[in-house]
Amino acid sequence: MAWNSLEGVVLDTVRVNDRTSIAHVYTDRCGLISVAVSQGRSAGARQQRSMFLPLSLIAMEARQQSGRDVCIVRDVQRTHDLTALYADPARNAIAMFITELLTRTIIEREANAALYNYLTTAVRLLATIDRGVANFHICFLYHLGRFIGIEPAIDTYHEGWWFDMQGGVFIAQGEGRPHVLPPPQAAALQLISRMTFANLAHFRLTREQRNEILDTVLTYYRLHHSTLGTLRSPAILKQLFT
């Protein structure tokens, strides 16, 4: 099979034996692919492994092996310097959350240019923004829903209405119904829908508010995405930001 020139964001790397790990990379032209990464001790193998840190943005040539879903790669290079993302504890914790979230929610292998652009833009911004970092994971989580088909219908919001998490719409009366948010929480959901990576610092949330919103949106995700399950990283985030 022919070699394909691809760019991608690394989601995670899983060691399968003493010689090989499998990296999952979401790419611009082929969607989600699996890549064989050597666990050898040579300088070349060590350098290749360093390219596949979670959320690394890379360019490479990839070729699918005959009869297998795993690709082999060559000429792997970083496209952006993400040193700040890995060196800063807060950014690193958010990166862990994003990685865990994406590995549970991105399961389709088809290419999606809008999703790819969203992911790469978010990763670059996480490494460079200097204000509003504490809200970054909330913003990323909420807006990811648009690209995986579960974005709430915010245009149905009216002040004082409830939010039906199962239907993804706001409703006039929800008392006694399952999976609904009462008006105060529904209003908070409508509020964060206006959050963007450009205005993060303008949202003055307390730790309690931020954690409640995180739990609410994750509950919404679980209702619509059965593969999400329980994430470990939110517990770390809840302790970081005041």
Give the domain ranges of the chain: 4-78, 83-152+193-240
Contact by Cβ (8 Å): 65, 205 = no
* Nearest to 141, CA basis, from 192, 67, 205: 192
Q: What is the CATH number of domain 4-78?
A: 2.40.50.140
The pTM of this model reads: 0.93
Tens-digit pLDDT profile for the chain (242 aa)? 689 899 999 999 998 887 889 999 999 999 999 998 877 677 666 777 788 999 999 999 998 876 678 888 999 999 999 998 999 999 999 999 999 999 999 987 889 999 999 999 999 999 999 999 999 999 999 999 999 999 999 999 999 999 999 999 999 999 989 999 999 999 999 999 999 999 999 999 999 999 999 999 999 999 998 888 889 999 999 988 76
Residue that is written with structure tokens 């209003």 in the block: 187
Provide the pairing of β-strand 31-38 with 162-164: unpaired
**Fold assignment, 83-152+193-240:** de novo design (two linked rop proteins) (1.20.1440)
